[in-house]
Amino acid sequence: FQVSTVPEFGRIVIYTTSLRVVRTTFERCELVRKIFQNHRVKFEEKNIALNSDYGKELDERCRSVCIVPSLPVVFIDGHYLGGAEKILLMNESGELQDLLTKIERVQLPQECPSCGGFGFLPCSACHGSKMSVLRNCFTDSFKALKCTACNENGLQRCRSCAG
């Protein structure tokens, strides 16, 4: 795990979750995603439910700006902007539109044909089981090992849309 040191000038990063365990959190994440989609700006969504490294990265970033993370969390140009309530208020007041003038635009809502916009696919090596099988060449026994090609959820980054 390593925190990204790449400058995020002209970029929007949104930390979200796709888990529906806490309905209000999921709905706030959906709301923020829709707001940025409606403004037709390019953004990077980091779903902490799909990759635990994103959660660690979010904790580190929030610790550096002394905030307690509550999903969704939005960073623009590498600076903490706020959560769902702040984004909604800025959108209603027009302040968000002014802030997004320097962000790259997209023509149509992006949805990758391979992953459906999630950015992850089941592992091509273990097919999401998180295990790979090694055959002992001296006996007829097999040994199950943790797959090294995928994350803890049996997922790999989508090669079609992950940049």
pTM of the model: 0.74
What is the chain's length? 163
Q: Which pLDDT band, with edges at 50, 70 and 90, does 10 fall under?
A: confident
Where exactly are the structural domains of the chain? 12-100, 109-162
pLDDT, one tens digit per residue, over 123-154 is 988 888 887 666 556 666 666 678 888 888 88
* Rounded distance between C-alpha atoms, residue 85 and residue 7, angstroms: 26
- The top-level CATH class assigned to 12-100 is alpha beta
CB atoms within 10 A of CB 123: 20
Over residues 53-63, the mean pLDDT reads 91
pLDDT digits (tens, 9 = 90+) for 63-121: 887 888 789 999 998 889 999 999 999 999 999 999 999 888 887 656 788 887 778 89
